[in-house]
Structure 1
Amino acid sequence: MNVPAWLLRHRITIERYEGDSAYGPRYGPPVADVPALVSETVRTVRDREGREVTSTAQIIAAPGLDCPAESRITLPDGRTTRALTVAHHTAPGLPVPQSTEVSAE
């Protein structure tokens, strides 16, 4: 069971992080109109290197969202942020929805 589509009221744009180049980070082409539920709340999370960092937006999306850490995200209010952590929530056999959670800077 996936997170119900009617809960994903916001639309975001994701530019997938593809690594670093001699000129800085490289991103894939923007994927616009991605359904999500955005909560702009300040939280402390650990980044992919284990450091404590502050997340100012949490995003819930459908399972299988292609958004690795460091990806660039444009939120519904137009603010551009960066993905700090990505968690894929699954619960095989349980009646709870599967989803992808992204904590953004």
Structure 2
Amino acid sequence: MVSRVPSVLLRHRIRIEPYLADSAYGPRYGPAAEDVPALVDATPRLVRAPDGREVSAAATFIAAPDLDCPPGSRVTLPDGRTATALTVARHTAPGLPVPACTEVSCE
């Protein structure tokens, strides 16, 4: 039985600075998580942002189910581009032989 996405499938490495809150000087981020295993798809696609807007996501990635990446987090992709996490979906299927993972779409 598979409980989480196998690490052998997470071929890319990304950097995540988790969004904390807005301040008078702009967004605040927590300590960066370096070298985070992920599988990145750089194909643009339309997604619905938390505020209801339809926006074009520049990249989508999957990572471990316990990933700390709230919407608004700053993500550095393998090619060096910096993106902002738009949507975060946690996929689980308790009792089924499918992997749990976190899917993040970035602007």
Q: TM-score range by the shorter chain?
A: over 0.9
Match of residue 74, structure 2, among 72, 79, 96: 72
Q: Give TM-score, length-normalised by structure 1.
A: 0.98
Q: Distance in 2 between matches of 1:68 and 1:104?
A: 11
Could you tell me the percent identity over the aligned residues? Answer: 69
Q: How does 1:76-91 map to 2 (within 5 A)?
A: 76-91=78-93
* Match in the other structure for 1:62: 64
Q: Give TM-score, length-normalised by structure 2.
A: 0.96
Structure 1 unmatched ranges of 5 or more: none
Following superposition, the deviation at residue 54 of structure 1 comes to 0.6
* Match in the other structure for 1:11: 13
Match of residue 53, structure 1, among 55, 61, 68: 55
SS, match of residue 19 in structure 1: strand
| Aligned length, in residue pairs | 105
Q: Which aligned runs of 4 or more in structure 1 are off by greater than 2 angstroms?
A: none
* Match in the other structure for 2:29: 27
Structure 2 unmatched ranges of 5 or more: none
* Match in the other structure for 2:101: 99
